[in-house]
A and B are shown apart, each in its own frame.
Chain A
Amino acid sequence: MKNDVLLKLLEDLPDDLIESAAEPEQSRRPVFLRYAIPAIAACMVIVLAAVIYPKLRTVTPERTEESSFTTAVTTAEPAETLITGNVPGTVQTGTVTEPDPVHIVTAPAYSAVTGKHVTAAPGETLPENDPQNAEEGGGQDDPGTPQDNGTKPQENAGTRPGARRTTSPSSTARQRTYTTAKPVTTRPVPQTAAATTRVRPATEPPATRAQSLQTDTPIDYTQEAWQQTEASPVTHKAGEDGPEKHGDTQTPTSPTTPTEQRIPCPCSTGRRGTGSDSQPTPGSNDPPAMGNESPAAELRGNKLTVHTDSYCTKAMIAYLALRDHALKIEIYYDRSDRSDLAEQEFTVYLPWEYANEVWGIESVCYEVDDVDEFDHSDEEVTLIVLS
């Protein structure tokens, strides 16, 4: 088209188009808006990510009506609480479902409910009206009965600390649940008898051990006491066997509560203190009130229960669990039992080989020296943080 024709054509453009073009629209925003808006948006994204991302990393499991202590126990019980009482004088604990020819008693226990040491002489049975005994239904394997304990007295007479078990525990022998959530200390008592004990090697000087063995006062929950208990050997040599033989050590334990191991909190600030004289309330699912020097953790089976209000400890657990390739970490809350305290169950699923490396869990897992006999690849360690 010729320019003249085109020019004439354009001359007749409507006025509104010409008027509109007189005030053109800026295509680009000012420099401030051009750079400020993305910068502000980036800052908001960073802030939101910092707030939300830690929450997204946790998975909240469904809670049951049970307390935090009982719900967390879902997997197998390590060998330390597998007590297959065929030894005379041995008091069986826990809910052992079937007898095991290997007698493994880790330590004499302290009944957290009654506040007394539960001891049993050879051939002596515990009173049946014991609340924990009745609660756990120990009638299946009536602990402490001479009939049950006297079948194989010399099975583990030569068991060394840390030695591998000759018999792999079956899955049915593992203690699955606990109806009482009271932590029980692994406190030795002076009675010695022909009992089978399988514990870790002693790390405490003999004098201290002897002193602790002779102590008959109710155990307190102070940090020192816990550490002492933790450090003290739970192996009692009895009879004529040498210290490397643990089979003849009588280790009366609580007939209803499993033996536990306490781990001091690595975090000095992580205390849940309600007074050092606090004692657990019988029949309550709440964990025992820990003193200002309360223990940091206790082990029930492969469930590690941490009593602490320390966020630092929780963070440390998370960090270590992640560092050690934890399979899964769960944090969930339970305010049903205690309205004033928010219970946080901090569940860390760890392979056992990694659990040994997690802050002191190795001191818990020492009992499971035959860990190779288990398929612990996907076992779980439950850390319950009470805050």
Chain B
Amino acid sequence: MYGALCRSVARNILGTNEDAEECFDDALLTAWNAIPPAHPQSLRAYILRLVHNHAVNRWNASRAQKRGGSQLPAALDELSEVLASRENIEDENERREMLEGITEFLRGLPKQQRDLFVRRYWYAATVSELSALFNMTENHVKVTLSRIRKRLQNYLRKEGLL
């Protein structure tokens, strides 16, 4: 049911269809083992998160082998520029505050911009994919993402998180 979406997430993170397929299979197996006792409210979000975690783990492992093709580093690089002043979050409370700040910021955005942000930095979607998905030009997608990042930075500074 969610195969295409999950495979696209895994492919964007890992960069190859084979790795994405394996990642998706691993995620389904994990879900099979976890449910029950786990009882997720949103099965799609649950499976997507499993796929995302498996893909990130596999990407971390492959990054050590210098395998390219992933969109995740580029997306993370874009976002890390915004949060450059915060080198590291060691404390769990700080990480939670930062997460809450980002979440609140995203909830304050219009749905389109929020979806665009999540699709880019969580789903690791490419700009071209976002362009086709949101019926926007690639330039428009880039400009919109840049403005969202700028606003996120201002918001986090205003909240004292940066």
Binding site for B on A (CB under 8 A): 1-22, 24-28
Residues of the B chain whose Cβ atoms lie less than 8 Å from the Cβ of A19: 42, 44-45
A18 contacts across to B, CB distance below 8 A: 45, 48-49, 118, 122
Chain A min CB distance to B91 (Å): 12
- Asked if B134 contacts A3 (CB within 8 A), the reply is no
Classify the secondary structure of B's interface with A.
Answer: helix
Contact B52 A11 (CB under 8 A): yes
In the complex with contacts A21-B122, A25-B112, A27-B134, A2-B87 CB distance below 8 A: yes
Neighbouring A residues of B119 by C-beta, 8 Å: 21, 24
Q: Which residues of the partner chain B approach A2 to less than 8 Å between Cβ atoms? A: 80, 87-88
Q: With A3-B80, A5-B89, A9-B95 as given contacts, are A24 and B134 in contact (CB-CB < 8 Å)? A: yes
Q: Is A6 within 8 A of B80, CB to CB?
A: yes
Closest approach, in angstroms, between the C-beta of A8 and any C-beta of chain B? 8
The docked-state distance in angstroms from the alpha carbon of A111 to that of B114 is 88
Q: With the chains together, A8 CA to B80 CA distance in Å?
A: 12
Q: Does B76 contact A (CB under 8 A)?
A: yes
A17 touches B49 (CB 8 A): no
Residue of B nearest to A1 (CB): B83
When the two chains form their complex, are residues A6 and B76 in contact, meaning their CB atoms are under 8 A apart?
A: yes
Q: Is B148 an interface residue (CB 8 A)?
A: no
- Classify the secondary structure of A's interface with B: helix
Contact between chains at A26 and B134 (CB < 8 Å): yes
- Interface residue ranges of B104-162 to A (CB < 8 Å): 106-107, 111-112, 114-116, 118-119, 121-123, 133-136
CB distance from A2 to the nearest CB of B (A): 7
Contact with A along B70-104 (1 / 0, CB 8 A): 00110011011001101111000001001100110
B84 with A1: CB separation less than 8 A: yes
Q: Mark B9-30, 1 if CB is under 8 A from A, else 0.
A: 0000000000000000000000
Q: Does chain A have a CB within 8 A of B61?
A: no
23 pairs, A vs B, C-beta closer than 8 Å = A1-B84, A1-B88, A6-B76, A6-B80, A9-B89, A11-B53, A11-B56, A12-B99, A13-B103, A13-B118, A15-B42, A17-B118, A18-B49, A19-B42, A21-B115, A21-B118, A22-B45, A24-B112, A24-B119, A25-B112, A26-B134, A26-B135, A28-B136
Number of residues on chain B facing chain A (CB within 8 A): 46
Which residues on A sit within 8 Å (CB–CB) of B89? Answer: 1, 5, 9
Instruction: Return chain A residues, CB-CB under 8 Å to B83.
Output: 1, 6
Chain A residues with Cβ below 8 Å from B106 are: 13, 17
| CB atoms of A5 and B88 under 8 A apart | yes
Additional A-B contact list (15), CB under 8 Å, known A20-B115, A20-B118, A22-B45: A2-B80, A2-B88, A3-B73, A5-B89, A6-B76, A10-B121, A12-B99, A15-B41, A17-B106, A17-B107, A17-B118, A19-B44, A21-B123, A24-B115, A24-B119
- Interface 1/0s, chain B 30-71, versus A by CB < 8 A? 000000000011101110110011001000100000000000
Q: Is the CB of A10 within 8 A of B134?
A: no
**Measured between alpha carbons, how far is A4 from B106 in the docked complex, in Å?**
21
Q: Which residues of A contact B76 (CB under 8 A)?
A: 3, 6-7
| Chain A nearest Cβ from B50, distance in angstroms | 11
List chain A residues, Cβ under 8 A from B102: 9-10, 13
Contact between B49 and A20, CB atoms less than 8 A apart: no
- Expressed in whole angstroms, the Cα–Cα distance for A10 and B76 within the complex equals 10
Decide if A20 touches B80 in the complex (CB within 8 Å): no
In the complex formed, the residue of B with least CB distance to A18 is: B45
- B95: nearest chain-A partner, CB-CB: A9
The answer on a CB contact under 8 Å between B86 and A1 is yes
Complex-state Cα separation, A7 to B107, whole angstroms: 19
